[in-house]
Structure formats: C-alpha cells, structure tokens
Structure 1
Amino acid sequence: MENGCFKIIEPFLNYCKVKSMADAIVNVFLEKLLSTLAEEGRYVTEFRDQFEKLQTELQLLQCFLKDADRLKRKNHTIRKILADLRELIYEAEDILADCQLQSKDENQFSQGWLACFSPPKLHFKYQSGKRLKEITEKITSIKQNISSFLGGPLLFQPEVISAQDQMPRWSSQVYDHTQVVGLESDTQKMKDWIFDAVHEGAQEILAIGVVGMGGLGKTTIAQKVFNERDVEHHFDRRMWVSVSQTFTEEQIMRSMLRNLGDASVGDDRNELLKKINQYLLGKRYLIVMDDVWSEDVLWWQRICEGLPKGNGSCIIITTRIEKVARKMGVKEARIHRPKFLNKDYSWLLFRKIAFAASGGECTSTDLEDVGKEIVEKCKGLPLAIKAVGGMMLCKAPYYREWRRIADHFRDELEENDNSVMASLQLSYDELPSYLKSCLLSFSLYPEDCVITKEQLVHWWIGEGFVPQRSSRSSTDAGEDCFSGLTNRCLLEVVDKTYNGTICTCKMHDMVRDLVLKIAKDDAFYNATGTNYRHLGVDNSMDKKQLIANQKLRGLVSTTKTCEVNKIESGIAKRFSECRYLRVLDVSKSIFELPLSSLLYRVGTLQHLTYLGLSNTHPLLELPDSLENLTNLQILDVSYCQNLKFLPQYLIKFKKLKVLDVSFCGSLENLPKGLGRLSNLEVLLGFRPARSNNGCRIGELRNLTRLRTLGLHLTHADEVKDSEFNAMMNLQDLEKLSMSFFDSHGSASDLTSKIDKLCPPQQLHELSIMFYPGKISPLWLNPLALPMLKYLSISSGNLAKMHKNFWGGDNNIVWKVEGLMLESLSDLELQWPKLQQLMQILRVVNVSWCPELVSFPIEDVGFRGGVWIKEQIRN
C-alpha cells in the first residue's frame, strides 16, 4: 500500500484494536477488514477513496457501539441498526477477501501490469468499487440515524487504553474446576442411602432423586457422589448419562453402553437393552440420569424393566421437576432437595474463583466489601456465584472496576430477577469482543454435547476469531481464548490429561440458553433459520439451510459421537455457491455420495482456511481440486485409516499452521518439501520417509515456528547420521510426542538411532509411547532437558532408566512437575529414589506398572505434596 494511504489508516487500525464493540461479529470482522487494508497493495489502493470514507464513518460509529450491547436488548431500533451494520461489515470484508484473491492470482503470472486491464479484472474493479461506495453511503445513513436517535451528532473521542487491558488478565487455567464448597452433608446423606441399600438387602434398584431449580448445583452434587472413592469401590459398574431435553430411548441406551465400553453400532433397541442386561448381570451398578426433563417416562420404564435387579444397585436422577423423579420411581424419603448456599459458603466459593491467583484469599478490604455485595445478589445459587467469580478473576483488582461491575449487576437484576441469568448476561457483556465470538460458536452444538478443545480452537483460528499478536502464535492465542472462557466458568470441564490440560468441555444448559438467544439475535446461528452464517452438520441437518444460504461462513460437525452423517448429493452440489465459506469440518462422517465428489466441490472454496476431515471414511486420497485452497491454515485428516498418501501440492500451502495426520495407519510418509511450510506451528503424525521420495526428518530444521510436534518412527533408516540434530534448533518447540508403535527391524538398530536424536533444550512436555528399547534414551536426562515440566512414558519394552536419567555425576535434579507412567510391565523404579530426583513433582499418574517399588497403591490424593493418581498391580 502507498505510504500516504497507510498513514491515514494506521491510527484507526490501532484504535480499533483496543476498542470494544457491542456486536461481537462486527468487531471481529471490522478488525480483519482494516488489517487487510494495511496489508494489501495493488487492489486496496485502487479503491483508496472508498476505503478512506468507510474508515471515517466507522470511526465515528465506534464510540456509540462501545456500550450498545445493553441498548440493543432494550430498543428495537438500535437492534435493527446494529443488524444492518453487521451485514455491511460482512460484505465489506468479503470484498477485501476477493481483493486478496485477485492480487494473489496476478502474482502467479508474468503478465505484469497489463493484466489489470483484462476484461475480468476491469469488471471486478468496477463492481467492487461501486459496491464499496454503496456500503459507505449506507453506513453514513446509519450514523445519521443514530445521531437522530441520540438527539445529537456523534463525536470521535479516542480513549487511551493500556496494552495490559487489551488481553485477558489470565490466559491459562488458574483454578481447579473440580473444587466445590458446602456439599459435605449433601454427599454424605446420599452415600448413606446407597450403602444402606446393601445392608437392607433391597431387591429392587434404589432410586434417588436430586431435585431443584436450575443453577442450584444438582449435577455437581451427583458428580461429587459419583466420583467419591468409596462409591467407586462399592459398585462394579458406573454409568453417567446426560439426558437433556431432546433425546431418544435409543440414544440413552447407546450412551449407557459407551460407559460400559461398547460402541454398539448398528444394533436396534431390543438388542441394545439385551447387551446392557448382559453387561450388568450379577453386578452392582450405579446409573446417573442427569438433567431429565420429560414427564413422559415410558422410555425409562422400558429400560428399567430390562435391568438386573438386586445386589444394591442404584439409580440417581437429577431434574428440575419433582414429578419426573416420582414417575421414575423415586420415593419421598429418597428425594434430596439441595439448599441455597449460605452467606459464608457463598463468599468462600466466590473468593476461591475470583482470587484464585492469590490462593483464594482477598487482601483488600475495599474489594471484599464490593465482592460480598456482588455475592449477595447471587442469592446462594452456585452457578451465579461461579459466573461472577470467573468474571472478576479476569478483571483488574481495582475498586473502581469492581464498583462498576456491581452497579451493572444491580441494573441487570432490576430487569431480570433471575440472578443466574442476570449474572450470565453480565458475564457475557463484560467479555472482550473476540471471546464473544468464540462463545457464540457453542450455539451450534446439541445440548450436553461433549466438545473437544482442539476442534473449537481450530474453528476460531480458521474464522479469524482469535486476535493476532506478533509475539504470540495462532495456536497459543487460540488456547488463550479457550482458557478465557473456562476461567470465567462459562464452560464446564469434562476431561483433562494427567498434567491438567483440558481436552473436552460442555456447556451448562442455562449458559447455552443465553448463547442460543444471542446467536439468533446476532445472525450467528439459528436452528430453524436459513440465513445464518454458521451451521452444524448432524443427522438431522435440513438441506434447505445449506441450499438457501450463500452467506455461510462455517459448516461444523457437531455430532456427540461417531454417528453417521449423511450429506445428500443435492446438498453437496451447492457447496460451490457458499463461496465465502471459511470453515468446513465434516469429521466423523460417512457420506452417501463418494467423498471425492464432495471434496472436488470443496476445491472451489478459495476462502477456506480450515478443512477438518478427521475420522472420515472412506477417505483414500485428497483430490487435485484442493490445490486451489491456498488460503488453508488448518488441515486435519487424523484417524483416516485408509488415507494412503498426501498430494505434492500440499507444500504450496504457505499459510498452513496446523497439519494433523496422526493415526493414519496407511499413510507411509509426507510429501517431499514439507520443510517449506515455514508457518507450521503444529505438526502431528509426522512419519519420516525412508528414501528421498518423501519428506525426510531433516526437513524439520526449517520448521522454526513449530510449537507442537508428533513424531512416529518405525525403522532405523528413517534417520540418517546427518539428521540427528534435525530438532535441535526448533527454539519454539514446547511439546514433543514420540511414538514407536509397530516398529520393524532390529530394536537395537532403532534405539541406537533414537539415542542420537537431539530434542531442543527448552522442551516443556515430552511423551514417549511404545519405546522399543530396554534402557531409556541417552538424552532423557535433566541436563539435556532442563526445562521439562511434564513427562509421559507409556507402553513398550522399557525396563530401566539410563544412568543419565538420574542426573549423572553432577547430581542434577529434574524440574518435572507432572509424571505419567502407564502400561510398563518391565519397568523397575523405586518411589523414594524418584522423589529425590524430582523434588518439585506435584502430579503422578501411574497405572499397570507391576514392578515399581514402594509406589502408593491407591488414589489417596495428596501424599507428601504429590498427587498420586493410581498404581494398579496385576
């Protein structure tokens, strides 16, 4: 771009980066629009006048839009104005995206400046310039309408905001999501009922009901009981089923069987029930039916009739409707009605979250006074307390800021006496605009759906929701966004790794109700609409939603499990009309038409940035048409067992940041030249070629932005002598996983090559799976990996640790905080010696390692400052 044009736009670019607009989508794409203006050259300067006028009008609107979220909920006129503005911003952003494609196409040819005068180019310039002028005029009209509504002109008064306020205070998890308060008596009462059933010799299934209003903590109480160690030991089988408001009897039984380790694909209802009976026959079992709504309980009566009786088995039902519990067989004496948290417990829960960074202690009298005022408005409802607590955790600890939040909460309660919904609305209003966009993405998923963090982060990056910072990788920034939502208690954690990293999450139904409403109002998603910009792929997908929608930006697989998705041929043919589609995730899908036919049409979507084909069958190869997807940033083909090779054109995807080919059993190697993808941040499932016909491990040297690497080695000749240092200079690499599953040839030959590899010293997390050698690698020592925090070793032949592992003659100790040892039947280690070597160890997860000496046998929580997960002996 010409210097003069950039100087005009640059102040506004900086200004937009620190302001907060009401409509989340407007703000996200406004920033994308303006950043594109700054980056692009030829085509932007062609429309310089139009863009300068557009910049001026948006600049004036920015002041009004800062506080428009609450206004639009109250006033239909404001809501309509914002909706019109949103559509104009989307269209302007589309024009800029087309400009980028045009500029890219010109650079691919050697026609020079004469190409600009070809008929297609002239037509594009004429149409785009004309439409930009119309957009600017409409935004001018919007500004005038707002001025009339406010009774005066809009004035531009930029604020000075520090860099600290531009990002959330906590971009990683800072508190334990599992901690609860005030549930000791609730838990004990229900456990007494469970254990008494055995002593009383009950011949029927004990039915316990947990009944109360939304946000009272019914599910939390049931989870607490379900996960108690003595309850776990008491039952042979345990099943947790999230029922939700929309379910089928077959879905319930499939969920029960999944809890029992059976995928049960293809069985009918009678066969499913027979399987459940066989698994439970002669066993004492516990079933939790969480969040039951329907008063028609015939489905449960049919299931219950097929369950084995006696043995002290138990069913726990959580519901808001007492009649439901009674109809499901719960007697009055076994109905538990949770009470509101008292004043002390309410304050304790709040400060555990809001002051988590200081160990849950409030050291400011002023903040304590305001905090207790806020907590009092929550009326003892745990969900409300957690929502406002999570919000305050992410706010600066200043009295003025807390006072503002308390006043805002008071105003919300005047309009909505439901303290839970008021607290959730307040929490949403206080989100940074990019987190609002991230939160709205949950509107596509079914109720109680368990969602992987990976899919969410990929979606957010692909659609541009994640704010870009020069010093922060896209994947790390996406993780920050996820942490921003979990820290605010807007997401419920479902599953974590041994080191505390969150893998999956879900959303409380009351939070989801709010998200659905906002998503509909902001034209993000509506289950019954045909003109929204995002759509979930599931079995009930209405083809009209796709056929009629050319505005679509994201099409995302939202199935709860690996169910069959069917995309009809007629729908697939319309893909090419969704020309501004950024995100396409059809993972876990089986198609009625050949998958190659669908992907051929996907190749026309040149704006696509995220393509998710994980666990998609039968994917044999990627068609040539995908070569056009040069804007692609994320490609996920993991768990595609039939995928045999990746095309050579993959190395042209210069913008690619994430490439996941993990668990592709038929894939031999990756294309030669992969090292040219210098923007790669995540590479999973990398199999080095055994010859020069594919990508050798030496090409990793060029991937200097890698943050996460998954390496799969099976043959000694996959590593040449000149390639031992391939990973040494990957200074940004923090996570490395090495798998040797299905290794061939001499184990000693492969292990001798592994010994000579040089992982980077700054590595934070290391995972080793199916290691073929008896003695640990030479480089697995505290001197070579001085910054290692988490170490996981699972499966394989490992029998003892090399002397280097113990610090050698220098007596160097590890800085490891988390350790997992799993399925190592030959490994001999002594717990006291390991503790002495890893002195800051906090988490230990050990299972199926029978030769370990002095390791604790049971999950006993903290012992000597270390959390011991479990040690199982054969």
Structure 2
Amino acid sequence: MADPALSFVIERTGDLLIQKIVFLEGVRRQVERLQKDLVRMRCFLKDADQRQDKDARIRNWVSEIRAAAYDAEDIIEIFASKVEFLTKDKGLVTKLTYYPLKIVNLYKIGKEIESLRMRLKEIADCREEYGIKNLGEEMTTHGEDLQRLRRSFPFSEDKDIVGFEEITKSLVAELLKEDRNRRVVSIVSMGGAGKTTLAKKVYNHAHVRERFNCCAWVCVSSSYDHKKTLRAIIKQLNEMSNEQLEKMEEEDLEGRLHQDLQDKCYLVVLDDVWKQEAWDCLARAFPDVGTSSRLLLTSRDRDVAQHADAYSHPYELKTLGVEDSWQLFLRKALGHGDNAGCPPDLEEVGREITRRCDGLPLAITVIGGLLLAKKKLKSEWEKILNNFSTYLSRSQSGVSAILELSYADLPANLKFCFLYLGLFPEDSVISVRKLIHMWVAEGIMQKRDTENLEETAAYDNVEELSSRNMVQVAEMTVDERIKSCRVHDLLRQVAIRKAKDENFFQIHDTRDDEISAKSRYLAVHSLPWDKKYVGSSTPPLRSLLFFNVHDYRKNISLNFKSFKKLRILDLENVKMSYNLPEGIGEVRLLRYLGLRRTSIGRLPHSFCCLRNLQTLDIRNSYPVRVSNFIWKLESLRHLYACRMECDVPLKIDGLRNLQTLLGVNFDDIMHNNMITLTSLQKLGIWVGERSEIDKLCLHLSEVENLKTLHLYRNITTVWPSLAGLSKLHHVTELKLSGMFLRKLPPDFPPNLSRLSLKNTFLRNDPMPVLEKLGQLSFLKMKDAYRGPQHMVISRHGFHQLKFLELRYLRVDEIKVEEGALPQLQCLRIRECYSLEKLPEELKHISSLDALELVDMPEDFISGLDADMVSSVPNLRIF
C-alpha cells in the first residue's frame, strides 16, 4: 500500500455511508459513486508503492489521491454532522424550520462531490502518462498476517545485551576509582550502537548504587533546553512541584542544583549530549568539592566528551563482533536465549543478514524484530536479504536503510501509527493510554466484532510495534502491560523523513517555519507563535498538537472557525485564557480534546455541539466548571477530570459509550440513573462527610461493567461510613484517597483483586484486615498508615497477593510471619524513611522475583542482609 493513511480514508467513506445513512439521504448515490472511484484508484497504488521512492511525479500522484480521499471524508462527515445537528432530537416544527437549510446543504455537497469526482478523473488520466500499472484490487495480506502474530517473549531491554560485559566492568571500575575530584566518564559511539543501554546497565549496577548516595538521569538530546534539563535533575533530587520549578529562572535553577549536590557523593547521567555548549551550561551547576562525584556522559561526538573532561579518556563503544552480532540476532529474530542454535536451513541466510547489519545493535534489534514476526521459512528470510541493496543505497551508514526496511514491512495501519509517533518531540515518554485515545479518534482502528474494541486493537498495535522494536518500552504496569513508550531518535528520524515524503504531517519547531496550506497533521514544538500564523493559511488540519510550550508567557488564542476539520486537539500544558472560547462548538468533528494542566476553568455552553467527542481530558489542579450539557455528548467514552462543578446536578445518564468518568461529585452520581451507562468501567467520585456510601453502592450495584471505583476526599474532616462496598460484585479494583479515613471499611467488594490506599492516615495496623481479602493480588499503600510504629502480616496472610508497594509509611518495622505472602512476586518499598530493615522472612518466599527499593535511606541500603539480597533474583535499588 503506497500510503499508510489512504487505505483507511477510503474505507471510512464506506463506513460513513453505513453510520450516517439517515443523514445522507438525497446524496447517497453520489457518495457511493465517489467511494467506488476511490476504490478504483486504490487498484493502482501497489505499483506506485514500488516506484514512488524513485519518481517524484508518482509521489505527487499518490499525494493528490490522498488529498482527494481526505477531502471526500471531510465533505461527507461535515455534511452529515450539519444535517444531524439540524434534525436529530428535534420536534416536527423545528425540523420543518430547518428544512430549507437542509436543502441548501444537499445542493452544496452535491456540487462538492461532483467537483471531487472530476479531480479524481484528472488524476486517473495521469496514470498512463506515469506508466503506473493496475496490479489488481487485492491488498497485501502479508501485513495482515503479521498483525495476528504475537510476540513470543516480553520486551526486556537488559535481557538481550551481548558484548558489553568487559566494557561494563571497566566503566564500573572507572566510576568507583578512589579519586575525590569530580570526574566525567564518557561513552562515545555512533547512533544506535547501544550507548544508552550500556549507560543504563552501569547506572543500575549494584556496586555503583551502593557507592553513590545521590543519583539522577537526564536525557539532554539535540534540542537542548537548559532550564528543562536542570528542572529534570532537580526534580529527581527533591519533592518539588512543577509549579515551583517553573517559577524559577535559569540562574536560580543552577544555584538550587549546585546547593542540592554540594555535600553529596553524586552520580548524574547526561545521556545523548550533542554540543559542547550544552555541557558548558550544565557544568557550572555540578560542584567539585572533593566528594568523589561522577558524571556519566554519552554522546555521538568524541569532541564533546573530551571537552567535558580532558583528563578522562572516553570509552568508545565499538560495533559488535561477528559472534556477538549473531547471538543478538538469534535472540531477536528467534526469541531464543543464550547459546540457542539456528535452524540449519536458515543459518546461512541469517548470518548474511547479520553481516549486513555491520555489528550495529540497533540495526540487529530492528531487523530481528521484523523477522520475529515472520514465518521461519528460508524464502521469507531471503526476501529480506534480497531487498537489502535497495535500501542500503539510500544511506551511507546503512542504518537508515535497515530502519526503513522495517517501516516498509509494516501493515498500513501500523505505518500510520508509527508515523503518528513522529509528531511527538525527541525523547518523549509517551503515555500509551493517551496514544490509544488519539489513534481511535483518528478512526484507523477497525471494530473486530459488534462490541466497541477499537482500543484493544490500538493497544495491540503498540505491542506489535514494541515486538518489532519500532518503539521502546519506557514503563510497564505490574501486570506487564506497556504503560508508556518512546521512539529511538533514529527511528523517529525515519518517521519524520517518511512523513515528509508522503506529506503526512508537519512539525513547527521554529518561528520561521512556514506551515503548509496542505497540512493535515501539525505538531507545534516551539513558541512564541504568531497568533495569526495558522489562521492565515487555514490548513485542513485533522490533528493539532502542542508540546513543550508551558514556558510561553502569553495566552494562546485559536480561531476555531479555521479548524472545522479537526479531529484531535491537544493543548496539554498550554497557557490559555481562563475560559475556553465559545468558538470550540464550531469544531463539530472533534473527537479528542486535551486540556490537561491548562488554565481552563470553565467549559462554554457551546460544548454541547461536540457530538463526536470521544475523549475529554480536563485534569487541572482546581475544579473545572461545566454547564449541564455533558449528557448531550453521546459519543463520549473517556472523561478525565480532577473535579467538575456544576450549578445544578450534572446529568450524565444515557451516555451508553462512556467507559471512564473521573472527578464527578457524589450528588451528581446519585441524581443519575447509572444503569443506563452500559459501558462504564472506571468511575472516580468525590465524597463528602455526609455522603451515604451504602446508598451509593446500592445505586452502582447493577452497573455490570463497572470494574474500577475511585473514592476521593481532599478536606480534613472524617470520611463518611464506607459500609455497603460488599454490594459491588463487579468491582475488582478499589482506590481510596483522602485524609482521615481513620479505619478501614467494614467490608470490601467480594471480587476485589486490586486495592490502593493513598493519604488515608489510618490509625490502626491495616494488615490484619487486608490480609484476609481472599482474591487480593495487588496492594499499594502511600502514606496510608500513621499508627503504631510497626505492621504485622500474619501466618498465611495475603495468600493470593503478587504485588505489594509500601510508600511513605512511618513504620520502623514490618513483621512477616512464616507462611505469609506465599504468592508474592514483587515487593516495592519506597521512601519509608523510618524503616530499619527488611523482614527476615522474605528470604523464604520462593515466589519473590523482584525487590525494588526506591529512595530509601543510605543506612537502610548499607544494612541489607547479604543472604536476603542473594535470595531475590532481581534486586533493584533506585
């Protein structure tokens, strides 16, 4: 398929016929003919795909088809939206009043469709001139087969490291040298050779963690931002809020960091430093006061490393040798462990593929990920090998060629998803949940059956991109789902290059950037920004995303009338006026609106026009006022708020698509028929002192899909009685957050498997109650207990618990009796500053795989029992 988005646009014109059939009467036949024209054009795209890289005329030809397809979808959807607004849920008199407007719109869309069909005819006439052949209707099934394949092993960056053993030992020894001066230890290599992977291995080495009492990691990157880098380091060393840090000027940030490190033996990793100027700016913030502190620096430029410390010889990370390359290739391509062999019929071609990767770990990892998703047939591997020369010719290093080969092998939907990742700034840690909402809003996810499972398909796409090593996992959840991800900078450059070739998106990162009038996807990475800059060219944008603009001092105002084709608008962290402009109601195709951490305090009444909105994120540090229109947003799936306020009880019943509702008040819930929210899975409620939880639980007991319930309080009066939770048979996850809970509920949901207690200040040891919850497998406690100075887990307590996190608990001892926690797999203890030692019984829990100690006192770490440490397979000290 020549274009990653075009196939879906063509399919969606057909889908719109089905979804909006009632509103398209009168132009249905014209729309059907237009859709058939687009399908016919698709017949020639496979041949164009094979030749467009060599022929700019063919690229332009494909671009013209894409533009026509986008325009077709926009025309149909805007028209259907207008007619729906004029007629749906209206009385007979109103419908008659709007009838002339409907006729006018029918005439307009008819003219626009005919004009569009003429454009397509002209495009088709150029086909023979360019020598493009008809290769048939059949779309490639190869990519579809790859979608069905699941990865055979969980992603683990450290698991498959090869060839770094000796250099790791050398780096650790260098960091631990008895030299009281502050020294810089550097790792230098070309991009993709594994600098960051090696630095992470050294940074997390047990001996290194024992030596330094203060550690931080920051990625500097090519687009260096001094204030942002300083904030990132300071935040790892202090409990400072974003608001506090954002108020500090550059000189103050440097002074604060210097002060924080003044008497510390610190280790700071500066990953991916591109310029000497970046080091010069940072160097003055790192004190050199005879504490044996170290900086570990990675760079592609040897001069940068030598400039940082002329007395320290940079460690050059060479490419892998033949056998190390082969072992890494086997792990990635076959999913095998150490010393595993290769099927005899694949070895010859496999070794040739490995040879062509030139020992570059990133290249081997990516090509291995590609092969992992393929059938283990010699013919399949030979196809990859035979295409190498074509791709290698595009790049002097060959790395981009290999990465582009992986891109070319992606199915059309994954190509779209991968290119979309290129909109995010370099080194971004991307929330998978947010990414999924955006992809679904773009309409590229196909429903698998009658249920609404587009988000499941979107998550599967993230997993497949991860399994192909096209994205890197940044953070996993306890149940081993990908929570956040990032794109390696080389792969991001591939995405940007391909997007430019295909006119897919545009990134605005300097004031002088000219925004194309043809842009459909625009990411703004740099401000100040001329308020009229976009408005003057009025591109037909579908996505408008803002990043890294929270330092911009002026309010940003948008002319929403210029963006009537927008599906996605993300303004997270953007400073805007207190009230969202009424003009937002003009953007009726909008499906995703991100207003998180903006200064928006009120949503205008025109919001009720956003009938297509699927995701609304208004999580701010203070309540957001809304008019009583939420019930009209019939497509709404996810509503994220810290807290919403309304002058009258907020109506939400009837929202059959709503899956997530966070930040709603107790009284608003009680005024609605919650049974009508048939898709609701996650609910977060603010409760007051007089809230009757028993009645709430009865009210929610028949909401069959409700799995997660959050109850919050933010005032210092005591909680209401929490009786009645046992009525919630469907709830499997419960979160209680707020001060002065005093004591635990008398009962819990009978099928509860996940429990989180945050800032509850319990007076009595909660373990005797919690350990009896028979299905509990996940427990997190943060500042949950302020009673006597010890807790006790009794014999056979928590017989199903697999994950336990204890944070900010003011206890000096945790007793674990023999036979307790028999299923425990991971124990995380974080910032429990009074805790003197670990329970001795942990060494006898055979299931315990990981012990994570985060920000614990130096005395605690140094006093760890050696037998305990050796008994746990994975000890991680952060």
Residues 11-58 of structure 1: per-residue CA shift (max 9 Å, x gap): xxxxxxxxxx32112123222222112222245342344333333333
Query: Is 1:493 aligned to 2:493, yes or no?
Result: no
Q: 2:327 matched to 1:348?
A: yes
* 1:519 and 2:495 aligned: no
Residue matched to 1:614: 596
The one-letter amino acid of 2:567's match is: R
How far has the Cα of 1:637 moved from its partner?
Answer: 0.6
Summarize the Cα distance change of 1:71–1:720 in structure 2 as closer, same or farther, 3 Å threshold: same
Alpha carbons 1:832, 1:854 under 8 Å: kept: no
- Find the partner of 2:721 among 738, 745, 750: 750
User: How far is the alpha carbon of 1:777 from its aligned partner?
Assistant: 4.8
The corresponding residue for 2:850 is 867
* Structure 1 unaligned regions, length at least 5: 1-20
- Say which is worse superposed, 432-441 or 117-126, in terms of deviation: 117-126
Does the alignment pair 1:586 with 2:576?
no
1:793–1:822 CA contact under 8 A, matched in 2:
no
CA offsets 1:343-390 (integer angstroms, 9 cap, x no match)? 333333334444449999678554565544433322211111221223
Instruction: Give the SS at the match of 2:684.
Output: strand
Q: Do residues 724 (structure 1) and 706 (structure 2) align?
A: no
Distance in 2 of aligned mates of 1:330 and 1:697? 70
Q: Provide the aligned length of Structure 1 versus Structure 2.
A: 820
Q: 1:658–1:682: 8 Å Cα contact kept in structure 2?
A: yes
Residue identity matched to 1:253:
L
- 1:242-281 alignment to 2 at 5 Å? 242-261=219-238, 262=240, 263=242, 264-281=245-262
Is the 1:440–1:515 Cα contact (8 Å) retained in structure 2? yes
Aligned to 2:560: 575
1:129 counterpart = 2:129: no
Matches within 5 A, 1:653-664: 653-662=633-642, 664=643
- Residue 793 of structure 1: CA displacement? 4.4
CA distance in 1, matches of 2:409, 2:267: 41
Structure 1 residue 318 displacement after superposition: 1.3
- C-alpha distance in 1, partners of 2:812/2:640? 31
Match of residue 195 from structure 2: 218
Of 540, 550, 553, which aligns to 2:539? Answer: 550
Amino acid at match of 1:843: C
Q: 1:807 to 1:862 in 2, by over 3 A?
A: closer
Q: Is the contact between residue 144 and residue 411 of structure 2 (CA under 8 Å) also seen in structure 1?
A: no
SS of residue paired to 1:200: coil
CA 291–117 in structure 1, closer or farther in 2 if over 3 Å, else same: closer
Q: Which moved more, 1:108-117 or 1:449-458?
A: 108-117
Partner of residue 751, structure 2: 785
Tell me if structure 2 keeps the 8 A contact 1:353–1:390. yes
**2:12 alignment partner AA:** K
- 1:800 aligns to what? 766
- Residue 164 of structure 2: aligned partner: 183
SS of 1:675's partner is coil
SS of residue matched to 2:602: coil
Q: 1:208 to 1:860 in 2, by over 3 A?
A: farther
How far the C-alpha of 1:715 sits from its partner, in A, is 3.5
Q: 2:675 aligns with which of 701, 708, 711?
A: 701
**Quick check: 474-483 or 652-661, which moved more?**
474-483
Q: Give the helix-richer structure, 1 or 2.
A: 1
In the alignment, what sits opposite 1:235? 212
* SS at 1:90 equivalent: helix
Deviations 1:152-208 (A, max 9, x none): 5x2634369599738442389832234333322222111111111xx2333xx2111
Q: Out of 382, 391, 409, which is 1:430 matched to?
A: 409
User: How far 1:730 moved relative to its partner?
Assistant: 4.6
Q: Return the alpha-carbon distance in structure 2 between the equivalents of residues 425 and 830 of structure 1.
A: 55
Measured after TM superposition, the shift of residue 701 of structure 1 is 3.4
Please tell me whether the aligned partners of residues 384 and 424 of structure 1 are also in contact (alpha carbons under 8 angstroms): yes
- How far did residue 739 of structure 1 move? 4.2
**768 and 410 in structure 1: CA distance in 2 versus 1, 3 angstrom threshold:** farther
Distance 1:397 1:89 in 2: 38
Q: Which amino acid aligns with 2:208?
A: V
Residue by residue over 1:80-114, the C-alpha shift from the partner in whole angstroms, topping out at 9 and shown as x without a partner, is 10110111011100111123213312223334898
What are the ranges of 5 or more consecutive residues in structure 2 without an aligned counterpart?
776-795, 861-878
Q: Tell me what 1:339 maps to.
A: 318
**What secondary structure does 1:385 align onto?**
helix
Say which of 460, 465, 488 aligns to 2:439.
460
Where 1:182 maps in the other structure, the secondary structure is coil
Structure 2 counterpart of 1:64, which letter? F
Q: How does 1:469-484 map to 2 (within 5 A)?
A: 469-470=448-449, 471-484=451-464
Supply the AA of the counterpart residue of 1:710: G
Q: Does 1:303 align with 2:283?
A: yes
Instruction: Give secondary structure in 2 for the equivalent of 1:288.
Output: strand
Select the residue among 823, 826, 829 that pairs with 1:846: 829
Q: Distance in 1 between matches of 2:307 and 2:214?
A: 25
1:728-739 mapped onto 2 (5 Å cutoff): 728-734=701-707, 736=708, 738-739=710-711
Distance 1:812 1:750, change over 3 A: same
For the 8 Å contact 2:218–2:271, the answer to whether it is kept is yes
Q: Where does residue 6 of structure 1 map in the other structure?
A: none
What's the TM-score, normalizing by structure 2? 0.84
2:431–2:484 Cα contact (<8 Å) kept:
yes
Q: Where does residue 2 of structure 2 map in the other structure?
A: 22
Structure 1 match to 2:663: 685
Question: How many Å separate the matches in 1 of 2:341 and 2:658?
Answer: 43
Q: Could you tell me which residue of structure 2 aligns to residue 15 of structure 1? A: none
Question: 2:551: which partner in 1?
Answer: 563
Deviations 1:309-357 (A, max 9, x none): 32111122211111121122243x5310012122333333334444449
Question: Retained in 1: the 8 A contact 2:158–2:201?
Answer: no
RMSD over aligned CA atoms reads: 3.8
Change (3 A) 1:43 1:626: closer
Structure 1 distance, partners of 2:352, 2:681, is: 44
Identity within the alignment, %:
26
Instruction: Give the deviation of 1:216 after TM superposition.
Output: 0.6
How far the C-alpha of 1:857 sits from its partner, in A, is 8.3
Identify which of 421, 445, 467 aligns with 1:442: 421
Distance 2:335 2:755 in 1: 26
1:62 has 2:42 as partner: yes
The one-letter code sitting in structure 2 at the alignment partner of 1:629 is L
For residues 686 and 172 of structure 1, the distance between their equivalents in structure 2, rounded to whole angstroms, comes to 41
- Tell me how far apart the structure 1 counterparts of residues 420 and 771 of structure 2 sit (CA, whole Å): 45
Question: What is the aligned partner in structure 2 of residue 3 from structure 1?
Answer: none
What whole-Å deviation, never above 9, does each CA across 1:713-755 have from its counterpart, x for those lacking one?
A: 454524243x424454555445x253444366555x52334x4
Equivalent residue number for residue 521 of structure 2: 534
Question: Equivalents in 2 of 1:251, 1:452: separation in Å?
Answer: 19
Letter in 2 for 1:184: E
In the aligned structure 1, how far is the partner of 2:95 from the partner of 2:400? 60
Q: What residue identity is the alignment partner of 1:649? A: F
- Take 1:824 and 1:282, find their aligned partners in 2: how far apart are those partners? 27
Question: Residue 122 of structure 1: CA displacement?
Answer: 2.9
| 2:804 counterpart residue number | 819
Give the distance between the partners of 1:212 and 1:240, measured in 2 at CA: 19
Separation (CA, whole Å) in 2 of partners of 1:425 and 1:859: 48
Q: Label 1:247 to 1:346 Cα distance change in 2 as closer, same or farther (>3 A).
A: same
Change (3 A) 1:301 1:59: closer
Once the two structures are superposed, what CA deviation does each residue of 1:269-309 show, in whole Å capped at 9, x if it has no partner? 32222212111111111222222222446x61673376343
- Displacement of 1:443 after TM fit? 2.9
TM-score, structure 1 normalization: 0.84
What residue identity is the alignment partner of 2:523? G
Identify the residue that residue 74 of structure 2 maps to in structure 1: 94
Contact 1:582 1:610 in 2 (8 A): yes
1:371-428 per-residue CA deviation (whole Å, 9 max, x = no partner) reads 4443332221111122122333344555544443343345322444533212210111
* Residue number in structure 1 paired with 2:584: 602
